[in-house]
Amino acid sequence: MALGITQFINIAGIVKDLKSFNFSVYGRWFGYINIILCIGLGISNLFHVNAVIAFGIVSIIQGLVILFIEIPFLLKICPLSERFIEFIKRFETNGYRCVFYLVMAIIQYCSIALMATSLIVVAVGLTISSISYAIAFTNHQEFQNTQILKNPTDPDFPREAVVREML
């Protein structure tokens, strides 16, 4: 029996998220996109012969920090210092995430002073996340998790026997 990634993804939950008009969910979705943008474009900017390399390194670090902010499950399974975990846990509200993404975007906009590179895309993505969280904060919307993955208690969720057979 073939096991596909679509058996783990909650399509109905994704559609429900998009129709919810809860901007904290949109901010989280853009946060996921920012993880990919920050790490990918940060690595691609390491090949410049300019001081923009420093902003590429900062972009990679930003991507990793966003990874831990947007996917808090990783805080439990990765060996991290208590100070870092306390730092990440500060950003559990829409207001703090708005400020966090805005500061990160400003840092990446500063890279334009050295050279116009693809880090502009990172800055714009971080700005979109900041705006989404700001709208959620001003509308007093509840901070909400996305429903991308299926709940393990769902009857459609693949059971251990199926996973063992796949391996």
Per-residue pLDDT at 163:
52
Residues of the chain scoring pLDDT < 50: 1, 150, 161
C-alpha 13 chain-centroid distance: 18
Radius of gyration of the chain (CA): 18
CB 22 within 8 A of CB 142: yes
Sole residue written with tokens 């690595």: 43
Question: What pLDDT is attached to residue 1?
Answer: 46
pLDDT in tens, 27-48: 888 999 999 999 999 999 998 8
Are 147 and 25 contacting, i.e. CB atoms less than 8 angstroms apart?
A: no
d(CA 139, CA 79): 36
